[in-house]
Amino acid sequence: MPQYLADIKEKEFFLSEDEAHHAASVARHKEGDEILIFNGNGQQFVGRIDKVQKKFVRGTLLRPCPVRRPELDITLCFVPNSRSGLEEVLDKGTQLGVRAFQPLVSARSEYDVLKKWAGGKNDRWQQIMIAACKQCNTPFIPQILAPVKFSQALSAEPSLFAYEAEREHTLLWGMKELKFPRAVRVFIGPAGGWTAQEVAQAKQSGALCVTLGVNILRAETACIAAVAKLL
């Protein structure tokens, strides 16, 4: 059953603009059709379409759907290497169940994510996450935080720092050391790797350096692999 992002009001739902266009003109839903609707914050219902217009669809909520969410809240702090790489991480990370994305700028950044954010690309990134939610039938749209410099993202929160020079300590080891927290921040570096200064800063903040395996992964693959292993 197709799923649409909707404005949910008590016993009714409303689709507007792109969602309504897709439902009415692309999927060609008619009055009386049942669809899945979600609000991005965890609410998901089976609904019945009552009114169809070109840019507006209204319907009635029929019944709530059982909702599952990963037990671990992951904030993925990563250094995008390209537009396509960033979009791949947002898509696959959303499907896996990342709670929030924190794009970073590091010493070896190759992609000006700060400029892209200021230029309004965050709207496109939001649409990518919405599409991923529809693909995997989750009602939770992750949060994408404003890009910051690497040093600004460091905090006392439980954090795992993927480092290619680490050989012994795994993600599981890190979670045990952190006493299996309810929420964790995972740091993934750029294609050129972290600098020695960045590694020192991470350790000083309390982040635990971990390995993702015997091979050195592409940055995008590292993001996906780390999240998949943790969830």
- Range in 34-48, 107-121, 154-168 the model is least confident about: 107-121
Would you state the pLDDT for residue 2? Answer: 81
CA angle 116–188–82, rounded 5-degree value: 35
The pLDDT of 148-172, averaged and rounded, is 95
Would you state the pLDDT for residue 84? Answer: 94
How many domains does the chain contain in total?
2
The pLDDT of 31-52, averaged and rounded, is 95
Would you state the pLDDT for residue 101? Answer: 98
Residue ending a domain, choose from 13, 36, 64: 64
Would you state the pLDDT for residue 188? Answer: 98
Q: Which domain holds residue 54?
A: 3-64
154 phi, psi to nearest 5 deg: -70, 140
CATH number of the domain where residue 165 is located: 3.40.1280.10
- Provide the 3-class DSSP secondary structure of residue 110: coil
Dihedral sign, Cα of residue 64, residue 65, residue 69, residue 75: negative
Q: Which residues is 49 bridged to in the sheet?
A: 59
Amino acid letter, residue 93:
G
Residue ending a domain, choose from 44, 64, 84: 64
Tell whether the model's pLDDT for residue 1 goes beyond 80.
no
Would you state the pLDDT for residue 16? Answer: 87
